[in-house]
């Protein structure tokens, strides 16, 4: 129990150490996977997920809902047996999720996260 309390203390002191999460739920009734993105970012006002699944179009981005605890969460259904590149748009700044399945260099010289479904 002490180690968990210490980890929570460290996370509160340095929000960059908080872990983002990607959850995948494969549906039996459809050939899709429900992907849920969770991002701890108390200071952020708006977070969107943008990627190849929405043609990198910010207007079609998945907007994450902010909860009282400062976490943002949102889901999207994606066709399984595919890979998708993505990034978070946090208050207008692109960020990657360290929990992505892999990373791929993009045309701008930075990296996009990759989801393998």
pLDDT at 21 over 90: no
B/e letters for 69-85, b = 16+ CB within 10 Å, e = fewer, are: eebbbbbbebeeeeebb
Per residue in 60-88, pLDDT (tens digit) is: 999 999 999 989 999 999 999 999 999 99
| Count of all residues that appear for the chain in the document | 117
Question: Per the CATH hierarchy, to which homologous superfamily does domain 19-116 belong?
Answer: Immunoglobulins (2.60.40.10)
- In this prediction the pTM is 0.80
What's the Cα-to-Cα distance from 43 to each of 14, 39, 74, 80, 110, rounded to whole Å? Answer: 12, 11, 18, 33, 24
- Give rounded-to-5 percent helix, strand, coil for the chain: 20, 45, 35
Residues 62, 48: contact at Cβ < 8 Å? yes
């Amino acid at each position: 129990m002490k180690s968990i309390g210490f980890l929570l203390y460290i996370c509160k002191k340095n929000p960059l150490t908080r872990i983002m999460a990607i959850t995948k739920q494969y549906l039996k009734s459809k050939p899709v996977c429900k992907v849920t993105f969770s991002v701890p970012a108390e200071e952020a006002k708006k977070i969107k997920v943008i990627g190849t699944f929405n043609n990198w179009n910010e207007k079609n981005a998945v907007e994450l809902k902010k909860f009282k605890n400062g976490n943002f969460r949102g889901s999207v259904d994606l066709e399984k047996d595919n890979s998708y590149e993505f990034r978070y748009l946090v208050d207008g700044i692109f960020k990657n999720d360290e929990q992505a399945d892999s990373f791929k260099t993009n045309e701008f010289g930075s990296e996009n996260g990759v989801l393998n479904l």
